[in-house]
Structure 1
Amino acid sequence: MKGLYLIFATLLFVAVSLCQDENRVCLPDALKKFTKDDKAVLGYSNWDASRLNVEVGRILLKEVGGFDTDIATTNDGSTYDWDGLADGSVDVLFEVWSEGREDEIEPYLKSLEVADIGVLGVLGRNGWFMSSFALDDNEAYASYRPFQRCSEVVPLRSSRTTDPTKGELAGGSPDWILTQGSLQVIENNGLCLEWVWYNSSAYLPIWEQKCQDSEPYLFMYWEPTAVFRRYETISGSIAYNYRLDRITLPRWSQECQDMWDNGYNCDFRASLIGKYMSRRQDMDPELANFYQKFSMDNGDQEIMLGALAYENKDYWEVACEWVLDNRETWSDWFWECENDCFGQGVCNNGTCVCLEGFEGEFCQTKINNKFFVCGDSSTFVDTTGDVFPPDLTNDPAFIKYSLVCDEIIDCDNWADEEENCSPSIVSGTIAFAVLISVSILIVLMSLVVVWVKRERGRIRAAGVEFLTQLHIGVAWGMSSAFLFMGKASDVKCGMTIWWIAVPSALVIGSLVAKQYKVFKVLSHKGFQVIRITNQQLFAITGGIVAVDLIVLIIWSAMSIPYLGIREVDGEDHPLCDTDDFLPFFIVLVAYKFILIFVSAVLAWKSRGLPSAYSEAKHIGFALYNSVILLVFFLLIILLITDEAFLNWILIIVGLWIWFFSIYLIVVGFILAGLWKDRHLDDSEKNALPDVSKSKNSMGRSTSPISHASGVPA
């Protein structure tokens, strides 16, 4: 009675486990785009590698192929369910060790009820194994020959052998082909070894203890299995003890194989593991295609088996990890269509069959309306605000598929780029937002310092009004980078050109006005007193900014930038657009170059300025630097318009570097001077720099200039 309860409990546990696996989702981007009518049933045998194969197949067929999928094993205790394949209740067996089973398989193949669909890709082989360190200590152990002498097997002796002079060869059931062959090899080669039978693989814990104790241990096993990855889970130098080497037995030959029943005396044949499929007439062609392309190699299975055995994970978790790590491998197991029919059709043997409402060779166009879909799992709308037809909204995974990981944010909540995309535009946005915010904070704090220290001589010499204009323009300009983060909108599109052009004009205008004042002072012999008021400074800057404003007003009146649908890499995206971009862009950029050129000429003519007012030299350097950066980033951005993610990075980085570098060059040396003067008394800190010297670089004598008289400010 207890036995019946145990059987019932085991069956219940298996049923619950399968039910849990059925409800779990592995792929985060929900690749399934449609549901198929056919059901896939994957058969497996009672060992881990076979079960892992079908778990991988089940995840992919369910979540990518859209098939209702189940797994099944034999009910009668046999190794393979050939009858299930024959009657169509099982679709496929992915892992069949066919060596020695030819007579068992042949009748099903001849009946045309089962098809041989090639090999899995795993090279299976039985053999004898010993830890690598033992072979390092005794190289002779790499071959079977030392085991012919009892004196050589002393390290392998144990209390579990009936003959104390013989070494132990640990192994499993006498029904194993591995055991039967090994017994003949021992007898036919006169080896001083004795087979010790353990239930299944119960001798592996003994091997692990031997590894810890650095003692040799000889056992039968097969490849691939988890033990070949055991060393990866061990820390420290002791991990090397867990590496295994194969013991060389007499060379295999077909003649030796033919003597299996009497006189077998060679190594075990390596065999490619086979796959067999049902020939049921109603099988979906894509299922048959998947079964034939499904493949695994020894490395795949050893990694999964190691995770299953040593990382406390279940079959589904291990299979899911493999699926996530091997997308390039399994993507070839499904029918391929251009852009996967854009998620708007079914790929049927390489040809897109469009769903209702879509057309084109690859179903790339929605009839009468190109669209984008965004939202949560219950609401999806296109760019016109129309809710999608019910037959599409029933499957959110299908709707969102074409929007995932295209390096362009199409949704207000960024849902289309948040799920394991690489490169990650969301991560980039966060990084740039932090960088720009910190930079703006530095500039604003610097402006506070300027006003708090406005009585200091260095600040007065530079001019509080000039520094204030420059700080405001730089902080404002860097904030324009935020307009390129997130989904485009009509507001962002309309503001972007204003938010970049106006602060850049304010910065350049401030530099030009300052350079002009310095030039006017220097242009009079002996540095005569020239009064240039703050009103004149603001007028020069305002006039420069006014030109930009006029151009922007005309541009906006003729064709204000708007949110439109543009094609990128064959897909439509909501992006900013304008009908007259190029001519107005050329005018604005050319105007900036003219201003910078004029200022550069003034800087050259002012090269004899006394060192006390050397900020003019920094202004000139800032203008030269701005030209180089402007040319560099404009050329790069225009040349890589087809690389959306890289283009986006360069625009943001270019804006940040252009504005922030001007701030560092012009303001940085002033702040450094304030720090340098920190040890002086207040009268020295507040004094204007000494501009007197016998003769400047132009050969003219100079005299002290009073700040109150209207000096360069």
Structure 2
Amino acid sequence: MKRVSLALSAMLAVAPALAAESSDPIKLTLHDWSGQLITTKLMGEVLKEAGYNVEYVQADYIAQFAGLKTGDLHVAMEIWETTGREAMDEAFATGDVVNLGETGLQAIEEWWYPAYMKERCPGLPNWEALKDCAEEFSTPETAPFGRYLGGPVTWGGFDEERVEALGLDFEVVHAGTDAALFAELEAAYQRQDPIILWVYAPHWAPAKYDGEFVEFPPFSPECYSDPSVGVNPDAAYDCGKPRGPIWKVSWAGVADKWPGAAKAIENFKLSNADYGAMVTEVDLDGKSVDDTVAAWMADNKDTWSGWIAK
């Protein structure tokens, strides 16, 4: 890796640079899944090459909006339409948080099951099949209820509300980390044990494993906000999760204090293919986030240098 770092250093020496408008650190938030660490470190390292002082701050996915509103945090590189829209809209309404545009990534986050579970639960991927075969997804701890393995609690997602609204005999159990979530999938898949869990794309898991996303009633904003909308007239969240872009957001003051950085962040675009390949290197190949980012930058100078061009 020393050779990669030296090559990258030589390449960056001729990269275009902006004059940083302030030497104060731009605080980029880090969360608890590999892809977000990659996009954030990638943007941060590009900003450093443009002359900015960058600080990485660990923060909860939803709770970070409090810091973005006050300016204690500055930039969040991944707000998923699938889980972050409600918190994002509330923050935008204050005027203290602004949208810096799409990352270029398109997101799906939903209940997912391995193909072998379809034989045990005929009728899938239609969600109504789960009403008749919840016990097929049970564990000794949840029986006779099925177990839905959700992501870390900090990810949001309203899975408990969905289970109740749709009358599903499932218990929601949250994985502690992103790594734990997919380690459990790997173990279950190898043994063909029962499992249904939170899987998201772009990610390597739905490409590596044969399976399907559950098809819930289509999402609408009203399904989340108005109990009278949807299959259950008495409950909200009786539908699937939204799908769509992954967004970049910032404290509203970023564009005034660091206008060049704000423009560079707006310019950031990454494909699902590049994102998935880098996540695979980290999660499956054991490469560090920092080395993965450095290698991508070494191979894609024309792309990222365009983000910071004057």
User: CA shift at 1:218, angstroms?
Assistant: 0.7
In 2, the alpha carbon distance for the partners of 1:129 and 1:274 equals 23
Report how far residue 319 of structure 1 moved.
1.0
Which runs of no fewer than 5 residues in structure 2 stay unpaired? 228-233
Contact 2:69–2:91 (CA under 8 A) maintained in structure 1: no
Distance 1:62 1:76, change over 3 A: closer
Does 1:146 pair with 2:132? no
**From 169, 192, 202, the counterpart of 1:214:** 192
Contact 2:138 2:194 in 1 (8 A): no
Is 1:184 aligned with 2:169? no
- Correspondence list, 1:449-468, <5 A: none
Residues 590-617 of structure 1: per-residue CA shift (max 9 Å, x gap): xxxxxxxxxxxxxxxxxxxxxxxxxxxx
Q: Label 1:58 to 1:104 Cα distance change in 2 as closer, same or farther (>3 A).
A: closer
Residue 54 (structure 1) aligned to one of 40, 60, 63: 40
- Corresponding residue for 1:43? 28
Counterpart residue identity of residue 146, structure 1: A
Once residues 7 and 247 of structure 2 are traced to their aligned partners in structure 1, the CA distance between those partners, rounded to angstroms, is 27
Give the distance between the partners of 2:248 and 2:59, measured in 1 at CA. Answer: 20
Matched AA of 1:187 = E
Correspondent of 1:302 among 255, 276, 280: 276
Query: Equivalences for 1:168-247 in 2 at 5 Å?
Result: 168-172=147-151, 176-178=155-157, 181-201=158-178, 202-228=180-206, 231=208, 242-247=209-214
Secondary structure at the residue paired with 2:148? Answer: strand
Structure 1 residue 265: Cα displacement: 0.7
2:36 is aligned with what amino acid? S
Displacement after TM superposition at 1:315 (Å):
1.4
Q: Is the contact made by 2:121 and 2:130 (CA closer than 8 Å) also made in structure 1?
A: no
Cα distance change, pair 32–132 in 1 and its aligned pair in 2 (3 A): farther
Q: Return the TM-score normalized by structure 1.
A: 0.36
User: Helix, strand or coil for the counterpart of 2:30?
Assistant: coil
Name 2:223's counterpart in structure 1: 256
What is the distance in 1 between the residues matched to 2:145 and 2:257? 59
Structure 1 match to 2:140: 159
Are the counterparts in 2 of residues 96 and 275 from structure 1 also a CA contact under 8 Å? yes
Change (3 A) 1:49 1:175: closer
- Contact in 1 for aligned 2:204/2:279 (Cα 8 Å): yes
Q: State the SS of the aligned residue for 1:165.
A: coil
1:94 counterpart = 2:55: no
Contact preservation (8 Å) 1:73, 1:81: no
Matched, 1:312 2:286: yes
* Residues 119, 274 of structure 1: 8 Å contact kept: yes
Which amino acid is 2:114 matched to? Answer: S
Distance in 1, matches of 2:186 and 2:175, equals: 15
**Aligned partners of 1:196 and 1:85: how far apart in 2?**
31
Matched, 1:293 2:267: yes
> Which residue pairs with 2:231 in the alignment?
none
Aligned to 2:57: 73
Give the paired residue count.
291
Q: Would you say the 8 A contact 1:26–1:320 is kept in 2?
A: no
Report whether the alignment pairs 1:132 with 2:115: yes
Pairwise CA distance, 1:320 = 1.7
The alpha-carbon deviation at position 331 of structure 1 amounts to 4.1
TM, length-normalised to structure 2 = 0.76
Whether the 8 Å contact between 2:68 and 2:75 is mirrored in structure 1 is: no
The structure carrying a bigger helix percent of its residues is 1
C-alpha deviations, 1:158-178, integer Å up to 9, x for none?
Answer: 2020xx333222224556532
- Paired residues of 1:46 and 1:79 also in contact (CA < 8 A): no
Whole-Å Cα distance in 2 between the matches of residues 321 and 74 of structure 1?
A: 24
1:142 counterpart SS class: coil
Name the SS of the counterpart of 1:159 in structure 2: coil
- C-alpha change, 1:317 and 1:210, in structure 2 (3 Å) is same
SS at 1:73's partner residue?
strand
Alignment of 1:349-498 (within 5 A): 349=310
Maintained 8 Å contact 1:42/1:58: no
Shift of 1:84: 6.1
CA distance in 2, matches of 1:200, 1:332: 35
2:230 maps to none
| 1:74–1:80 CA contact under 8 A, matched in 2 | no
Flag the 1:263–1:221 CA change in 2: closer, same or farther, 3 A.
same
- Are the structure 2 counterparts of residues 26 and 129 from structure 1 closer, same or farther at C-alpha, using a change threshold of 3 Å? farther
Task: Kindly indicate which of the two structures has a greater share of residues assigned to strand.
Answer: 2
Q: Is the CA contact (8 Å cut-off) linking 2:254 and 2:262 kept in structure 1?
A: no
Aligned-partner SS, 1:191: coil
Equivalent positions of 1:613-628 (< 5 A) are none
Indicate the residue corresponding to 1:423 in structure 2: none
CA RMSD in angstroms, aligned pairs only: 3.6
- Percent identity, please: 18
- What SS does the aligned partner of 2:85 have? coil
SS class of match (1:168): strand
What's the secondary structure of 1:158's corresponding residue? coil
C-alpha displacement of 1:72: 2.3
SS of residue in 1 equivalent to 2:55: strand
The residue type equivalent to 2:210 in the other structure is: R
- For the structure 1 residues 310 and 175, does the alpha-carbon distance in structure 2 shift closer, same or farther, using more than 3 Å as the test? closer
Distance in 2 separating the partners of 1:75 and 1:140: 40
Contact 1:115 / 1:279 at 8 angstroms: preserved in 2?
no
Work out whether 1:322 is the aligned partner of 2:302.
no
